[in-house]
Structure 1
Amino acid sequence: MAAFRNRRSDELARLADEHMQHDLRQQDRDTLKSAASKVSLWTGVGSAVGIGLGLYMAFRLRSSRKAFFDVFRAQQKPTQVVFADGRTESLPDITPLLKPTTFGDFATYFFASAGGLFLGGELGFLGGATSASNSIAVDPESRKRIETAFRRFRADVLRKEADALDGGESVLDKMF
């Protein structure tokens, strides 16, 4: 769905660029670019660390699963059960069902690395956003100009959306 919204993102990028050029000084624009690069760096590092930890956890899980199977296979298992009335029932061998499979290994590595990517990326983004916010908040005047420019940008975006909806455009076209 997001791939089909290029037209909307181009329009918003153009509007944001206009506000950056008219409402902010060069120092403010440099501060925003520095803050954006901090968020990007932290998110990338967090994602990489998350994938690494996810793969490490998957490796540990797979090796412990294999060790459990090897121990289970080596143990003597009962082959039949004798009931009090003398009746004997044989027990099925479940050893082949517990054997680690290639599909199980793939799923373990895939889901553990995906989970690590998500968790690491989100934590990295949170750390980067905090770091970027702190770097913007260093200069109170610059921060005020940036906040004012952002409020004006949001107001323009909402005005354009309201004008488009009042103009009779389809709501579904605006949403998608």
Structure 2
Amino acid sequence: MNTENIFTSYADWLAHAEMPKGQRAVLEASITLFSKQGFDGTSTAQIANQAGVSQGTIFKYYHTKQDLLQAIITPVVQHLVPRIRDAFVDRLPTQVDLATFIHFIVQDRFNFLQQNAEVIQIFVSELLISPQVRELFATFLKKTAPILNGSPLAKLQTSGQIRQDLSLLNIVRTLIGQLLTFFPNQVFTETARFDR
């Protein structure tokens, strides 16, 4: 599977990834079902039915359901999120106060979260229970730390607007945690509004 051409959303990446039609259908169905029912609440029979393929097709590409989950999450953490992070850091305003900075983060990242709602929902669920997913995310955060040193976040810390005793990585973890907590509530509110 070609993972070089990573786009701005998982759906866009999936649409352009070089893979057989059946494999793409399995991934799309898995994302839909895992985000609605959870990983443990979804059977391979349900995935096969949703994808319009046999269970044998699923196991042709993924030896286990866990392998299928990893095929969804790994590109997100290793390719999509770093690309989005780099684009985000490039767009950060250089001269801001803390309130403007947080507003920018929430507005900019909420767009990303909306475009990738199903995959992010799967990722957050698995982050809470899967050591492998936590390890993938911890590796991503470690690679992110050096990028933060010259960022506006570091300047806000130097100016005293953010506590200086916190590491930049801990600040980023807190911001990400807040966004990931805020996001499901917003999605639920939006969904409830449209269901009326």
Q: Give your verdict on TM over 0.5.
A: no
Higher relative contact order (Cα pairs below 8 Å, separated by 6+ residues): 1
TM-score normalised by L of structure 1: 0.27
TM-score normalised by L of structure 2: 0.24
Structure with the larger helix share? 1
